[in-house]
Amino acid sequence: MAPARIGIVTISDRASSGTYADLSGPAIEAWLRRAVTSAWTTDYRVIPDGFESVRDTLIDLADAAGADLVLTTGGTGPAPRDLTPEAMAGVIEKPLPGFGEQMRRISLEEVPTAILSRQEAGVRGRTLIVNLPGKPASIAVCLAAVFPAIPYCLDLIGAARIETDPAVVAAFRPKGA
Ligand SMILES: Nc1ncnc2c1ncn2[C@@H]1O[C@H](COP(=O)(O)OP(=O)(O)OP(=O)(O)O)[C@@H](O)[C@H]1O
Ligand SMILES: Nc1nc2c(c(=O)[nH]1)N[C@H]1C(S)=C(S)[C@@H](COP(=O)(O)O)O[C@H]1N2
pTM: 0.97
- Predicted local confidence at residue 66, as pLDDT: 98
The residue to mutate among 119, 138, 146, having the most atoms of ligand 2 within 8 angstroms of its beta carbon, is: 138
- Predicted local confidence at residue 134, as pLDDT: 98
Ligand positioned closest to the Cα atom of 100? 2
**Pairing label, strands 94-95, 127-132:** unpaired
ipTM of the assembly? 0.94
Are 11 and 49 spatial neighbours (Cβ–Cβ below 8 Å)?
yes
- Predicted local confidence at residue 27, as pLDDT: 98
Q: Is the pLDDT assigned to residue 176 strictly greater than 90?
A: no
Express each pLDDT in 99-125 by its tens digit: 999 999 999 999 999 999 999 999 999
d(CA 149, CA 171): 6
Express each pLDDT in 4-63 by its tens digit: 999 999 999 999 999 999 999 999 999 999 999 999 999 999 999 999 999 999 999 999
Helix (H, G, I), strand (E, B) or coil at 175: coil
Mean pLDDT of 152-173: 97
* Sequential DSSP letters for 28-70: HHHHHHHHB-S-EEEEEEEE-SSHHHHHHHHHIIIIIS--SEE
- Predicted local confidence at residue 129, as pLDDT: 99
Are 73 and 23 spatial neighbours (Cβ–Cβ below 8 Å)?
no
Express each pLDDT in 65-85 by its tens digit: 999 999 999 999 999 999 999
Are 120 and 101 spatial neighbours (Cβ–Cβ below 8 Å)?
no
d(CA 33, CA 31): 5
Q: Is the pLDDT assigned to residue 177 strictly greater than 80?
A: no
**What domains, with CATH codes, occur in the chain?**
4-157 (3.40.980.10)
Give the Cβ contact number of residue 84 at 10 Å. Answer: 28
d(CA 89, CA 18): 28
d(CA 131, CA 127): 13
d(CA 75, CA 13): 9
- Predicted local confidence at residue 78, as pLDDT: 98
Separation of CA 150 from chain center:
10
Ligand positioned closest to the Cα atom of 131? 2
- Predicted local confidence at residue 175, as pLDDT: 83
The residue to mutate among 20, 44, 82, having the most atoms of ligand 1 within 8 angstroms of its beta carbon, is: 20
